[in-house]
Structure 1
Amino acid sequence: MSKNATSAPIERENNLGTSIVLFVVMIVLFLGSIYSLSFLSLDNPWPMAVCLGLFALAFWIPQTILGRSDSAGES
């Protein structure tokens, strides 16, 4: 058996309202990246650049800033 038989609660949990707001903001970023593809053409590379930037933000912000990506070694 391990030393910590009881599981401690996560210290930095968000309440429901904050979680919903964060979810909506990330979904808006993601859908904005998809919407920018409607302006894509072979003459204009900027919609693809906007798509990649918004998608990267929609993925990176929850994983690194809001997530617990630095707690992999905790026991």
Structure 2
Amino acid sequence: MSSKTTASGVTKVQTPENENSLVTSIGLFLVMIALFLGSVYSLSFLTLDNPWPMAVCLGLFFLAYWIPQTILGRSDSAGEK
């Protein structure tokens, strides 16, 4: 568990249950699922003559998994046991 000191000096334990509000979590989920579905949809334009739909698919798919794991992940938990 990570701890977070507030402005009043009180240390609050950050657990996975209280890191994000429900609205924030749903909003982030919808954005990431839109990126994933956009990557799948781009494959409908794939032909042997045009490689760009596959490039778009790989880019959106990469972002849909990289953003939650790195940017939105718990970067402060490296030293925890």
User: Does the pair score TM above 0.5?
Assistant: yes
Pair 1:23-2:11 in alignment:
no
What do you get for the CA RMSD once the two structures are aligned? 1.8
Mapped to 1, the partners of 2:76 and 2:59 lie a distance apart of: 23
TM-score (norm 1): 0.81
Q: Say if 1:63 and 1:69, in contact at 8 Å, map to a contact too.
A: no
1: CA distance, partners of 2:70 / 2:14:
20
More strand by share: 2
State the identity %.
78
Number of matched residues? Answer: 68
How many Å apart are 1:68 and its aligned residue? 1.6
Question: Which 5+ residue runs of structure 2 have no aligned equivalent?
Answer: 1-12
Specify whether residues 39 and 71 from structure 1 end up closer, same or farther in structure 2 by C-alpha distance, changes over 3 A only. Answer: same
The amino acid of 1:57's aligned partner reads L
The CA deviation at 1:72 is: 4.2
Q: 1:1-50 deviations in whole A, cap 9, x for unaligned? A: xxxxxxx4338701000000000000000000000000000000000000
User: Unmatched 5+ residue regions in structure 1?
Assistant: 1-7
